[in-house]
Amino acid sequence: VGALAACFFAKRGHQVVIYEYRSDIRMEKSRGQSINLALSYRGREALKAIGLENILVKCHGTCMRGRMLHDKDGNLKEVLYDSVKGNCIYSVNRRYLNVVLLDAAEKYPQVQLNFNRKLVEADLEKGKIKFLNTNTGAIEDAEADLIIGADGAHSTVRKIMARRPLFNCAQTYIEHGYVELSVPCKEHNEFAMNGNNLHIWPRGEFMMTSLPNEDCTFTGNLFAPFCVFEKLKTREALLSFYTEHFPDLLLLIGEEKLVEQFFEKEPQTLISIKCKPYHVGKTAVIVGDAAHAMVPFYAQGMNTGFEDILMLDELMERYDSNFEKILPKFSELRCDNGHAICDLAMYNYTEMRDLVTKKSFLFRKFLDKVLFTLVPNFWIPLYFAVQFTRMSFRECIAHKEWQDKVLRMSLFYLAFLIFAVLVVPFLRNEM
């Protein structure tokens, strides 16, 4: 998100200096952070604005047209994301995306990149910042007219903002974590499963997911309560668990590779953060995970962060780069929506690991499909609104609540009509 922001601001002629805690990812061979990135409409619109959509989507994105559900017996069921208009979501390699954005930012003469810099202190109102150079141990001072905190879920900028009165912040660690696993390709570099789906193994309390990669492998993740991970401390326990719950996946990964990958790292935590406001005066603002870290189950973390920057750019256009007006308006428009997508992401975990197997859920999906086909401008399903439009997240939720009410009333009147047609004539005959 930080590199994207640099591109937008440099494009408008601003001088930009990026300070990054980590070393230059372009010089590293490490696997980096887990979980592939799913790029949808909100993120694509931001990339399109700086000319990067094609290289990421058409050249290096893997199209996912829907979910492929795997039951314990190996039976498959495809649930399309958009069976009406044919929209899809793109799986993008996290490292490759970072490299593309850093390269793009570096091409602007107004952008300067500084790696291995840890933020240690800041006076956000005065725009004064102190960094620790982790290579030399030296403290470096900097000044800026605007500080953009795109420093992730454990944001130092947000922690400094939290010292101020009237700043509200809440963080929630869910009692579930994840372990990343890689599913290799078949011979001749072919996908081991359908390469145009997000694969899900819903098991109620826990689940496996796999996203396709450009090299025909899959990046998989086991999401489960930590109490489940506590029971998987030995090779025997792990293999028994996968034999019982994910036998088809065990065959694809292989026993040795599964054991090697699973015990390579401890299960990672998942955090959700809500805070308000997102700005300080006209000199500081937080974006992306720093403002609204969310669990990954709606695949909107990156997309929402990218949309943050696109919205800032739109506000710069509207207010002629007057940040005294831009930043309060950004908080006004974005905070409640940031909270809304955090809630949606939490709900979607329940949907993915459990509800997708329920007949009532599938029936609702069927109704949404029929109504969306008949009246597409009137009946927009929640998932479509989140993934394939820029409708505000709060509006998405309100629209879904209205739809639920309409369907409940319709079913009530239908039941009443059936009762009237079937029972009333019978009662008359009895009389």
| H/E stretch holding 352 | helix 323-353
For residue 154, the tally of other CB atoms under 10 A from its CB is: 13
What whole-number percentage of the chain has pLDDT above 90? 68
CB 201 within 8 A of CB 246: yes
Token pair for 322: 């007057």
- As a residue count, the chain comes to 431
Give the chain's radius of gyration (CA, Å): 24
- For residue 207, give the 3-state DSSP assignment: strand
Residue 279: strand pairing partners: 285
Q: How confident is the model at residue 141 (pLDDT cuts 50, 70, 90)?
A: very high
Mean pLDDT across the chain: 89
pLDDT in tens, 288-320: 999 999 998 898 999 999 999 999 999 999 999
The tokens describing 35, both together, are: 């979980």
Average pLDDT of the residues in 20-48: 80
pLDDT digits (tens, 9 = 90+) for 93-131: 888 899 999 999 999 999 999 999 999 999 999 999 999
381 contact partners, CB below 8 Å, separation of at least 6: 365, 368, 369, 372
51-54: long-range contacts, CB 8 A cutoff, minimum separation 24: 52/7, 52/100, 52/101, 52/104
Instruction: Tell me the average pLDDT across 318-334.
Output: 95
- β-strand partners of 39: 90
The amino acid at residue 45 is: E
Place of tokens 């954005």: 101
pLDDT (tens digit per residue) in 367-404: 888 888 888 888 899 999 999 999 999 999 998 899 88
Q: Is the pLDDT of residue 142 over 90?
A: yes
129 phi, psi to nearest 5 deg: -135, 150
pLDDT of residue 59: 78
What are φ and ψ of residue 183, in 5° steps? -100, 115
pLDDT at 359: 77
Instruction: Report the DSSP beta bridge partners of residue 77.
Output: 69
In this prediction, residue 417 carries a pLDDT of 75
Cβ contact 394:334 at 8 Å: no
- For residue 420, what is the enclosing H or E element? helix 393-430
Q: Is the pLDDT of residue 136 over 60?
A: yes
Q: DSSP characters for 32-66?
A: -SSS-EEE-HHHHHHHHHTT-HHHHHTTT-EEE-E
pLDDT band at 356 (very low <50, low <70, confident <90, very high): low
Q: Is the link from the previous residue into 277 a cis peptide, with omega within 30 of 0? A: yes
Q: Return the exposure string of 7-46: e unless at least 16 CB atoms fall within 10 Å of the residue's CB, then b.
A: bbbbeeebebebbbeeeebeeeeeeeeebbbbbbbbbbeb
Region of 243 (left: φ > 0; alpha: ψ -120 to 50; beta: rest) is alpha
CB 65 within 8 A of CB 88: yes
Nearest to 192 by CA among 216, 161, 160: 216
Segment of 39-48, 59-68, 72-81 carrying the highest mean pLDDT: 39-48
pLDDT, average across residues 34-43: 83
Residue 267 is classified by DSSP as: P
Q: Is 154 helix (H, G, I), strand (E, B) or coil?
A: coil
- Asked whether 78 and 197 are in contact (CB, 8 A), the reply is yes
CA distance to 49, 58, 99, 143, per residue, from 103 (Å): 16, 18, 6, 24
Q: CA nearest 17: which of 25, 29, 28, 9?
A: 9
Contact 152, 290 (CB under 8 A): yes
